[in-house]
Amino acid sequence: MAIDFSTLLTTEQKRSVLTARVEQFANEGYQHTLNKQISESVGDAEGVAASDAAIATISAAIEIHQAELAALPAE
């Protein structure tokens, strides 16, 4: 029996969680963008690849969170 956690939160609580997570992911994405620039500047191909992978995951996470936000009822 799985709990549907979304039913335990109000719309405003969901909006707050989603907004905070998007901001957190954006911060992480920015850091990985800087890491990628650093890796490129020193010729670290593995670092560039790791940054690219992290950026792709973070981008997907932001898109999913933004879709959830858009699906919430209007304020």
Domain boundaries, the chain: 30-75
Tens of pLDDT along 26-54? Answer: 999 999 999 999 999 999 999 999 999 99
For residues 20 and 46, give the distance between their C-alpha atoms in angstroms, rounded to a whole number.
Answer: 31
Q: Is the Cβ–Cβ distance between 22 and 62 less than 8 Å?
A: yes
**pLDDT class for 74, splitting at 50, 70, 90?**
confident
The residue type at 52:
D
Whose CA is closest to 33, among 18, 19, 53?
53
> What is the pTM for the complete model shown?
0.90
pLDDT at 75: 75
Whether the predicted pLDDT of 1 surpasses 90: no
Q: Is the Cβ–Cβ distance between 65 and 25 less than 8 Å?
A: yes
pLDDT at 38: 98
Tens of pLDDT along 13-30? Answer: 999 999 999 999 999 999
